[in-house]
Amino acid sequence: MKYDVIIVGAGPGGIFSAYELMTTAPELRVAVIEAGNELKKRHCPIDGDKVKSCIKCKSCAIMSGFGGAGAFSDGKYNITNDFGGSLYEYIGRKNAIELMKYVDQINLAYGGEGTKMYSTAGSAFKTLCVQNKLQLLDASVRHLGTDINYIVLENLYKKLSESVDFFFNTPAQKIEKIDGGYRVITKKGEFEGEHCIVSVGRSGSKWMETVCRDLEIGTQSNRVDIGVRVEIPAVIFQHITSELYEGKIVYRTEKFEDRVRTFCMNPNGIVVTENTNGIVTVNGHSFEDPAKKTENTNFALLVAKHFSEPFKDSNGYGENIAKLSNMLGGGVIVQRFGDLERGRRSTRSRIEENTVIPTLSATPGDLSLVLPKRILDGIIEMIYALDTIAPGMANDDTLLYGVEVKFYNMEVELDENLETKHKGLYVIGDGSGVTHSLSHASASGVYVARRIASEK
């Protein structure tokens, strides 16, 4: 099967590459090869009734398929260079922001109109943070919500499938360099194209390693963020979430001078599990639909861990910590903050008596048996620091779910065009290690598509 451009992966990176190619270079033949299902066939078997926890499907419906890892996400598109990736280091700050705004306009045009844009600009909350040793990062946030995010993806798929060929349930096995382009080998056949855009996200990270090894593309990996997901009554953070939706707040611990940050805030949302390569970790969602809102807000508290030589497997370190919680709890562990502080495990009866009612059925346990002391100390310090700006945060009944791990894909050696040393082979989105978010991944897709279109 011969194409001008082969895109591997139909997450936001792949989708926006395809979209931009379709609009700026409609004469190009484009194929998208995706390991998972099309959107409407993506169903996680966990129903809370017959299937209560992850059964480790061959292709995880949460992480794979049209829409990628972002399909059932909260759909928060952060327009900022302060977090979400380092795209600006490759393409410049102004360009990166312009592309993120462009992606926002497309999302609005395909079903996101009417959703709210939040901003930290001029927020009094910033001063309150500084006064309490906390730093509020700058951003504008478009909150689509899980439901609208899905509608946008449905509409984009409808439009794209008019001119782009999609191949679902077709994991790419190998990429070979051939005369005048690349050959992508799958069980369902071989695809050849002059250009190849690889956008395989976090779920494709292990495969990406083999691609880089085979094609001798340089990589490096030295970071992982480890922590917990906190669940509190929504009223405690209401003054923050109603103004900013998501406050990205950073704290430097006194003990170790580690950076702890809030991440992925879900006002009135739910806590969910996530499966990365068979390891069950925790995450969160929230919905625009008032009927689906809960009384709780959840967000992650993550401690950034950077390793130095000779250690190279930062993700392996995070995976092993997550495996410990899976071993002890059969999946995710939940603990009351009061129990953690008293050095005892949470039990089913203590969780049942808790005033904060958990939105995820997790195993009551003891996170101090899972998380390294340095990380746990950082999280506890951060909880007390947040209590100064949001009293109630450090209540005994605050729930902590563990573990949450933010894996960073290895960074692939790329030039300013996000092109590898092999001409025509681009690596974008989270799979490149350059981005860690919906808006950055999408923007990287547009960027590379424009580059390819400009060569024609």
Residue given tokens 């933010």 in the structure block: 406
Contacts of 384 (CB under 8 A, 6+ apart): 394
DSSP 133: T
State yes or no: residue 318 binds ligand FAD (CB under 6 A): no
Residue 337 to residue 367: CA distance in whole angstroms: 10
Pick one of 30, 172, 232, 394: the residue that binds ligand FAD (CB under 6 A): 172
In the complex, minimum distance from the CB of residue 204 to ligand FAD, in angstroms, rounded to a whole number = 3
Nearest CB to ligand FAD, comparing residues 35 and 380: 35
Burial of 40 (0-12, 13-18, 19+ CB in 10 A): exposed
Residue 456 to residue 252: CA distance in whole angstroms: 49
190: left (phi over 0), alpha (psi -120 to 50) or beta: beta
State yes or no: residue 227 binds ligand FAD (CB under 6 A): no
In the complex, minimum distance from the CB of residue 10 to ligand FAD, in angstroms, rounded to a whole number = 5
In the complex, minimum distance from the CB of residue 338 to ligand FAD, in angstroms, rounded to a whole number = 28
Region of 96-104, 193-201, 354-362, 387-395 interacting with ligand FAD (CB under 6 A) = 193-201
Region of 9-17, 47-55, 249-257, 389-397 interacting with ligand FAD (CB under 6 A) = 9-17
Region of 199-207, 302-310, 355-363, 400-408 interacting with ligand FAD (CB under 6 A) = 199-207
Pick one of 104, 194, 258, 274: the residue that binds ligand FAD (CB under 6 A): 274
Binding string to ligand FAD for residues 57 to 76, with x set by CB under 6 A, is what?
A: -------xx--xxx--xxxx
Q: What is the DSSP string of 190-212?
A: EEEEEEEEE--TTTTHHHHHHHH
State yes or no: residue 262 binds ligand FAD (CB under 6 A): no
Pick one of 227, 378, 429, 433: the residue that binds ligand FAD (CB under 6 A): 429
CA-angle at 206, arms to 203 and 209, nearest 5°: 130
In the complex, minimum distance from the CB of residue 15 to ligand FAD, in angstroms, rounded to a whole number = 7
Q: CA 203, 208, 209, 214 torsion: positive or negative?
A: positive
Q: Phi, psi at residue 171, to the nearest 5°? A: -65, 135
State yes or no: residue 412 binds ligand FAD (CB under 6 A): no
State yes or no: residue 281 binds ligand FAD (CB under 6 A): no
Residue 255 to residue 393: CA distance in whole angstroms: 20
H helices, E strands: number in the chain: 12, 22
Number of residues lying near ligand FAD (CB under 6 A): 42
DSSP 410: P
State yes or no: residue 322 binds ligand FAD (CB under 6 A): no
DSSP 108: I
State yes or no: residue 8 binds ligand FAD (CB under 6 A): yes
State yes or no: residue 431 binds ligand FAD (CB under 6 A): yes
The tokens describing 422, both together, are 């092999």
State yes or no: residue 201 binds ligand FAD (CB under 6 A): yes
State yes or no: residue 365 binds ligand FAD (CB under 6 A): no
Residue 370 to residue 329: CA distance in whole angstroms: 10
In the complex, minimum distance from the CB of residue 416 to ligand FAD, in angstroms, rounded to a whole number = 19
Pick one of 287, 296, 436, 447: the residue that binds ligand FAD (CB under 6 A): 436
Nearest CB to ligand FAD, comparing residues 10 and 303: 10
Residue 79 to residue 438: CA distance in whole angstroms: 10
Pick one of 30, 31, 36, 39: the residue that binds ligand FAD (CB under 6 A): 36
Whether the Cβ atoms of residue 124 and residue 242 lie closer than 8 Å to each other: no
Whether the Cβ atoms of residue 364 and residue 345 lie closer than 8 Å to each other: yes
User: Can the peptide bond before residue 403 be classed as cis, meaning omega within 30 degrees of 0?
Assistant: yes
State yes or no: residue 12 binds ligand FAD (CB under 6 A): yes
In the complex, minimum distance from the CB of residue 7 to ligand FAD, in angstroms, rounded to a whole number = 9
Q: What are the residues binding ligand FAD (CB under 6 A)?
A: 8-14, 33-36, 64-65, 68-70, 73-76, 78, 84, 171-172, 199-204, 207, 264, 274, 283, 429-431, 436-439, 441
